Amino acid sequence: MGIILKILASLFVGFFSYRVGWLSWGGSLITSIMAFIILYKLGWLWSLPPLSFLTLGSILSIYSGKRERRDYKQVLANGLPALICAITSFEGGYLTALAVSFSDTVATEIGIKFGRKTYLITNFKEVPRGTSGGISLEGTLAGILTITVLSVFGWLMGLNPIPIFLSAVLGFFSDSFIGATLESRGYFGNNTTNFLAGIFGLIVYIFLHP
């Protein structure tokens, strides 16, 4: 009965996300698969961070003026590093990778909507909002607050929050740095930048965690 409930909950998350316009069909399918793996390997409580990511990220995106559905490539770019950790029951790495993607999404949307000035992370010259590698004070603070909340969640779940926080912050800033250097030069797109930032934060956590 437990596994059936997890399957139904996973399908509901994907279907609901499609119906409200957050995800494409492909994005909703991948989300359902990822949700089931997380529920099956880690349990119900560990599904709260990605569920919060999906909900808050989508709402902020719509509020900042973006109306397009996220496709399967975007879902995988943001969720694959965490999913790999979920499959191996590596809870700290899972939460760290999620914190990197979650904080970047929050920072981007808050920065676009409320940021007064945006600066390129490599030289701190002022650039237009939405520029790859651009950061704002408002967005940065929102991103770090997101990481703090997830680190506290990790602590409540029995993990050491300090390695999670430090690793996620470094991954968070690496996203902007990669965007300002490699992405801005056309080597790859934003999905690859998000994926690499998550992997970077995860690698740092592997070295820092006890």
Beta strands, E only, the chain: 118-120, 126-127, 134-135
Give Cβ neighbours of residue 13 (< 8 Å, ≥ 6 apart).
31, 32, 35, 51, 54
Half-sphere exposure of 32 (CA within 13 A, CB side): 19
pLDDT at 210 (0 to 100)? 76
Give dist(CA 183, CA 1) in Å, integer.
46
CA angle centred on 71, ends 22 and 29, rounded to 5°: 80
pLDDT at 204 (0 to 100)? 98
- Those residues of the chain that have pLDDT short of 70 are 1, 67
Question: Could you give the number of structural domains in the chain?
Answer: 1
Instruction: Supply 4's token pair.
Output: 């059936």
CB 96, CB 166: distance < 8 Å: no
State the residue range of the domain holding 6: 2-208
End-to-end CA distance of the chain, in Å? 36
Give dist(CA 109, CA 86) in Å, integer.
27
Identify the bridge partners of residue 126 per DSSP, sorted by sequence position: 119
pLDDT at 1 (0 to 100)? 60
